[in-house]
Chain A
Amino acid sequence: MRFERREHRSTLLVIATPILAVIAALAIAGLLIAAAGAPVFEAYWKILTSAFGSRLSATETLTRASPLILTGLAAAVAFRARLWNIGGEGQFYLGAIAAAAASAHLFAGLPSLLQIPLLFVVGAFAGMVLLLIPLWLRLRFSVDEVVTTLLLNFVALLFVSMLIDGVLKDPAAFGWPQSEAVDAAARLPKMLARSRLHIGLGIAVVIAFLIYFVQTRTVFGVQSRAAGLNPSGAVFAGVPLGRTLVIVAMISGGLAGLAGTIEVLGVKGYVTTDLSPGYGYSGIVVAMLANLNPLGVVLAALFTATMFVGADGMSRSMGIPTYIADVTVALSLLSMLVAVFFTQYRIRR
């Protein structure tokens, strides 16, 4: 048995790939649900109704999807240029804490229209800086950025923990380590009244379209792709490799930082060390499920959010651990990898 590269990939195959991958993942996760002694189809039905069954749950799912779109885009942009940014989680937290601190101390009192964009810049900048360090280490010392970005996640979370237990600690929080609340004018407007859904979702979707445009219609988009596909060839063709990677890193880190900023301004209003249930890591899965396509990221984020919100509800009523959501999402990533492979290769005997 051997594999042979396909000459031609049909559009249908490309579109069907993620769907087949998700079905495969759901089937395997179904075995785990069955092993726990629960009816599988009922469990999946519960996941779906818990995620979309009511106005409350549907808005909750969309609220969960917003940061996932941004962290997914952060990973997709970087991976396309073969910049392995696995540090989304740390960048998310740094963006959140930077925005919270700036809102409470620097920009307090500024009107929303001025303050919110300023905080977006601050948060994005913080995420950016955290990714530029490992990129610098790669360019200067040829250190693999996978490990450094992963390690920096732990450093960033400890740094945030130190701040909210120290200089940024909210004195009114009964001793709990949490940051001071952001200025009232910094809270993001709601997209829908009587829900937690804020304009962050709209912003994330607009950014996805923007990135799609940049990647398909600009010189930079082509250069970043070339940098990923064949770095030495790209250099030969006159692509400034270092500069391209720096810009990619700034976009990627900035998006992850922005995700944190939007989450703190849109949902909680203050930072704790459980602000993110792994949004940075899930962003990697979202990006891979979307096959690094920015518009696909929106759909993949929606799927991931559905699994997480749905599994919470299903878990309460059926006694299956909520971790089934994480298992399913991870399995989707693995089956997506395999599925993409078979769109590129066929089996020959």
Chain B
Amino acid sequence: MSALFDILASAGLWAAVLRIATPLILATLGALISERAGVLNLGIEGIMTFGAMSGWLAVFNGADLWVGLLVAALGGAMFGLLHSVLTVTLGLSQHVSGLGVTLFASSFAYYVFRLMVPVAGTPPTIEPFRPLNIPALSDLPFFGPAFFTQTAPTYLAIGLAIALAYLIARTPVGLAIRMTGENPHAAEAQGLNPMAIRYGAVIFGSALMGVGGAFLTLSAFNSFFPTMVQGRGWICIALVVFASWKPERALLGAILFALFDAFQLRLQTVLSGVVPYQIFLMIPYLLSIAALAVMARRARVPQALMQPYRRGER
């Protein structure tokens, strides 16, 4: 028992929680905003992979880290545009289109990476984001190292979650997005353009997914390797349901999830040899499934989610 307590009481655990949560926060927000407008984006896993690759590649070729994030955002937006054309304009199945985007984006990322970076024994690395030491706060005992020595994108992600919570709940733009996701015909009757709103939400959301992926290669690690996203995208789709399509809950959900993840990583070292490590690695995925089972019925799904909108057609 005391071993468990020691883990929970270590500042290192809490520092890791925010680090693990950041890509999840960003990508979950991306998936969330697009679903609030009525479009499920299963391209998320591939878009995160492409973001991780393109952001890293830009920095590897001499770009600034922030430019790397921007490149990842633009790459994500590009695939968001593709998904929008397929699902909004053509009204194709959002499931199948999203899976197609994932397959395309990830294999395209691997192709470009292999082409630009020759095979090497040790993967090439970049100089990632440094922890941002906030004066005074960083020096606090426990809280300092636990919460105030993160890299800049982590603070950005948290700020963004709060900003999006406000945007969706309190602004005309948020109302327009929500209306489009609940009832696009009513939105159109109000003089809004549901198609344009869906395009905007999907493209913006995909840009966030790209940035979420890039956090992995530009802050959490310092190199890119295939399959590094490891199902994080799918976990984010589950987190959206868990968050009941609310940004503030998405923030909490991602942090809660990261807490479990960071905890199991440390538990692994304590229990190594007793329990196979694979059991621990399964936990995040099983946890996501459990969260879905608990929340799916309770959550309020946007009513027009996954329904294509065609003007004048019911």
What residues make up the interface of A, taking CB atoms closer than 8 Å to B?
2-3, 32, 36, 79, 84, 86, 137, 141-144, 146-148, 150-155, 158-159, 161-162, 165-166, 281, 284-285, 288, 320-321, 323-324, 326-327, 329-331, 333-334, 337-338, 341
Chain A residue, CB-CB nearest to B279: A162
Contact partners of B297 in chain A: CB under 8 A: 141-142
Contact partners of B241 in chain A: CB under 8 A: 144, 147
Bound complex: CA of A106 vs CA of B178, how far in Å? 57
Besides A154-B282, A281-B103, A326-B110, 19 other CB < 8 A contacts?
Answer: A3-B90, A32-B108, A141-B294, A141-B296, A143-B296, A144-B241, A147-B234, A147-B238, A147-B288, A147-B292, A158-B281, A161-B278, A284-B99, A285-B103, A321-B111, A333-B96, A333-B99, A334-B101, A341-B92
Decide yes or no whether B115 CB sits under 8 A from chain A.
yes
Contact partners of A148 in chain B: CB under 8 A: 289, 292
Number of interface residues of B (CB under 8 A): 44
Shortest CB–CB separation between residue A220 and chain B, in angstroms?
A: 24
Does A323 contact B42, Cβ atoms closer than 8 Å? no
Does B111 contact A327, Cβ atoms closer than 8 Å? yes
- Residue among A3, A158, A281, A327 making CB contact with B310, cutoff 8 Å: A3
Contact partners of A329 in chain B: CB under 8 A: 103, 107
Given contacts A143-B293, A150-B231, A152-B285, contact A330 B110 (CB under 8 A): no
Decide yes or no whether B300 CB sits under 8 A from chain A.
no
List of 4 A-B pairs having minimum Cβ-Cβ separation, nearest first: A326-B107, A321-B114, A162-B278, A330-B103
Decide yes or no whether B311 CB sits under 8 A from chain A.
yes
Does A137 contact B293, Cβ atoms closer than 8 Å? yes
Does A338 contact B278, Cβ atoms closer than 8 Å? no
Shortest CB–CB separation between residue A303 and chain B, in angstroms?
A: 15
Shortest CB–CB separation between residue A6 and chain B, in angstroms?
A: 14
Shortest CB–CB separation between residue B225 and chain A, in angstroms?
A: 13
Decide yes or no whether B135 CB sits under 8 A from chain A.
no
Does B95 contact A155, Cβ atoms closer than 8 Å? no
What are 6 A-B contacts with C-beta separation under 8 Å? A154-B231, A154-B285, A320-B115, A326-B103, A326-B106, A333-B103
User: 8 Å CB contacts to A: which residues of B261-314?
Assistant: 276, 278-279, 281-282, 285-286, 288-289, 292-294, 296-297, 310-311
Does A327 contact B107, Cβ atoms closer than 8 Å? yes
Contact partners of B90 in chain A: CB under 8 A: 3, 338, 341
Does B95 contact A2, Cβ atoms closer than 8 Å? no
Shortest CB–CB separation between residue A249 and chain B, in angstroms?
A: 16
Shortest CB–CB separation between residue A279 and chain B, in angstroms?
A: 13
Contact partners of B218 in chain A: CB under 8 A: none
Decide yes or no whether B131 CB sits under 8 A from chain A.
no
Does B286 contact A155, Cβ atoms closer than 8 Å? yes
Main secondary structure of the interface of B (DSSP, over half): helix
Against A, the Cβ 8 Å flags (1 = close, 0 = not) of B71-111 are: 00000000000100010001011011101110110111011
Does B278 contact A151, Cβ atoms closer than 8 Å? no
Main secondary structure of the interface of A (DSSP, over half): helix
User: 8 Å CB contacts to A: which residues of B197-255?
Assistant: 230-231, 234-235, 237-238, 241
What residues make up the interface of B, taking CB atoms closer than 8 Å to A?
42, 82, 86, 90, 92-93, 95-97, 99-101, 103-104, 106-108, 110-111, 114-115, 230-231, 234-235, 237-238, 241, 276, 278-279, 281-282, 285-286, 288-289, 292-294, 296-297, 310-311
Bound complex: CA of A334 vs CA of B98, how far in Å? 10
Tell me the total A-B contact number using a CB cutoff of 8 A: 125
Bound complex: CA of A79 vs CA of B100, how far in Å? 14
- Residue among A143, A159, A333 making CB contact with B100, cutoff 8 Å: A333
Does A337 contact B92, Cβ atoms closer than 8 Å? yes
Bound complex: CA of A288 vs CA of B108, how far in Å? 20
Shortest CB–CB separation between residue B83 and chain A, in angstroms?
A: 10
- Taking each of B235, B296, B297, which has the highest tally of chain A beta carbons within 10 Å of its own beta carbon? B296
Bound complex: CA of A84 vs CA of B40, how far in Å? 14
Given contacts A151-B285, A321-B110, A323-B107, contact A166 B95 (CB under 8 A): no
Contact partners of B42 in chain A: CB under 8 A: 146
Bound complex: CA of A162 vs CA of B288, how far in Å? 20
Does B103 contact A337, Cβ atoms closer than 8 Å? no
Bound complex: CA of A199 vs CA of B73, how far in Å? 48
Given contacts A137-B293, A144-B296, A154-B285, contact A338 B104 (CB under 8 A): no
Contact partners of B95 in chain A: CB under 8 A: 84, 146
Chain B residue, CB-CB nearest to A86: B99
Contact partners of A153 in chain B: CB under 8 A: 231
Given contacts A141-B293, A147-B292, contact A330 B100 (CB under 8 A): yes
Bound complex: CA of A154 vs CA of B107, how far in Å? 19
Does A323 contact B230, Cβ atoms closer than 8 Å? no
Contact partners of B276 in chain A: CB under 8 A: 162, 165-166
- Residue among B111, B282, B289, B292 making CB contact with A323, cutoff 8 Å: B111
Shortest CB–CB separation between residue B56 and chain A, in angstroms?
A: 16
Shortest CB–CB separation between residue A280 and chain B, in angstroms?
A: 12
Given contacts A155-B285, A337-B92, contact A327 B104 (CB under 8 A): yes
Does A337 contact B278, Cβ atoms closer than 8 Å? no
Contact partners of A166 in chain B: CB under 8 A: 276
Does B282 contact A159, Cβ atoms closer than 8 Å? yes
Bound complex: CA of A323 vs CA of B116, how far in Å? 13
Contact partners of B96 in chain A: CB under 8 A: 79, 288, 333, 337
Given contacts A36-B115, A146-B95, contact A323 B86 (CB under 8 A): no
